[in-house]
Amino acid sequence: MLIRCEDLWKIYRLGDVEVQALRGLHLSIQQGEFVAIMGASGSGKSSLMNILGCLDQPTKGRYWLNNVNVAALRSDALAEIRNKQIGFVFQNFNLIPRTSALENTQLPLFYRGIPLREQRVMAMEALRRVGLQGRERHYPTQLSGGQQQRVAIARALVTGPSLLLADEPTGNLDTESSREIMIILDELNKAHGMTIVLVTHETDIATYANREIIIKDGRVLLDRNTRADLQQLSSEV
């Protein structure tokens, strides 16, 4: 089991008002799944993604990632987990401006302390996998939205993470670019067995996933397989 969440609570305090973003959520995701998380805004899906991505800690509850109880870790240990086990793809790409595609892709390796030469080789390979060979020296402003998102995917997969978190990855893209991005994600999942957790509110994007989870009021409202051949997987959940 890659991800196991038990009784996750996330409570924010805005002045005197207490917001319960997650209310005792349970969730398990196995290695190699392609999960789409859906839900209205305010449903708690962003809070869930932040916790799954080790960017945030739950107020209460436990979260095991690769059998490590993440909820008990401190910020440096979380940074290390993000660096080694998680790749992020964001809606607005979040590339570092005025920095080439290659250097953007190298960034996680840089923080891992890998020698520069090796960083280059690994980043080139990652960019090739997302179909950006020949554009390594381009700056984000010289790339289209779809290309920028592909750089972001290259950056996410360059470390070989066990989990790829994509938060509305097609939210800022046109239909054609969206399709390209989803094909890349699908390929990563199918051919390389990378676990992908995708947050989206577009149903046609969600259809690329094998499993659909709908969050409402901080709990899982619906959890179903969308592919018959994977029926067996979800029955274990």
Q: Let me know: does 43 contact 218? Beta carbons within 8 Å.
A: yes
Q: Of the candidates 15, 17, 98, 175, which one interacts with other proteins according to CB under 8 A? A: 98
Q: Of the candidates 73, 79, 214, 233, which one interacts with other proteins according to CB under 8 A? A: 79
Q: Of the candidates 39, 58, 108, 140, which one interacts with other proteins according to CB under 8 A? A: 108
Q: Which residues contact 59 (CB under 8 A, 6 or more apart)?
A: 9, 10, 11, 22
Q: Let me know: does 87 contact 157? Beta carbons within 8 Å.
A: yes
Closer of 149 and 159 to other proteins (Cβ): 159
Q: Of the candidates 97, 141, 176, 232, which one interacts with other proteins according to CB under 8 A? A: 97
- When asked if residue 12 is in the footprint of other proteins (CB under 8 A), the reply is no
Could you give the 3-state DSSP secondary structure of residue 57? coil
- CA separation for the pair 201, 178 (Å, rounded): 13
Q: How far is the CB of 138 from other proteins (least distance, A)?
A: 16
Q: Of the candidates 122, 155, 188, 206, which one interacts with other proteins according to CB under 8 A? A: 155
| First and final C-alpha spacing in the chain | 10
- CA separation for the pair 135, 142 (Å, rounded): 9
Q: Can you give the binding site for other proteins, defined by CB under 8 A?
A: 50, 53, 55-56, 75-76, 79-80, 82-84, 88, 90, 94-98, 107-108, 110-113, 115-116, 155, 159
